[in-house]
Structure 1
């Protein structure tokens, strides 16, 4: 099992389009993928689950991957989140 602490960089939070992008990427891997925010845990391959966790701008959460391709899955999902899940980011969030 591998995990990473993340902060959601999307100013509009995790709405349908970025949640779909996350799940599309997660489905490429055989590992189980979980998103945890506080005590709430959801399946990272389920768009409804990802939406239900209610991540907002700058929410702290954890991506947890477990399985044979866990390292690859975590690296890809971390990069996707850090790049804004295909959504525009504020300059201050990008480190400018």
Structure 2
């Protein structure tokens, strides 16, 4: 298992469009579990589920820790971190 903490930079947080991109990216890694926790550590969410991502209510400026476990976990983590750092398409 690998993990990394990133800060949500886009101004609207993980609303529907960025959440969709986040999930689509996670789903590319079929044999790898991709989850994340809000920085407070109280909420865990499945990055492959749009409802789970939206339910996490992640806002701009929030930090999340992304966890990847399984086949190609390092590549999955690198790609997830990159899309967040790139602003999730916004």
* Alignment TM-score, normalising by the size of structure 2: 0.94
Map of 1:42 onto structure 2: 45
**Structure 2 stretches of 5 or more lacking a match?**
none
**Structure 1 stretches of 5 or more lacking a match?**
88-96
Map of 2:63 onto structure 1: 60
Larger Rg: 1
Map of 2:84 onto structure 1: 81
> Aligned partners of 1:57 and 1:23: how far apart in 2?
18
Structure 1 outlier segments of 4+, above 4 Å: none
* Alignment TM-score, normalising by the size of structure 1: 0.88
> Aligned partners of 1:42 and 1:12: how far apart in 2?
19
CA RMSD of the aligned region, Å?
0.6
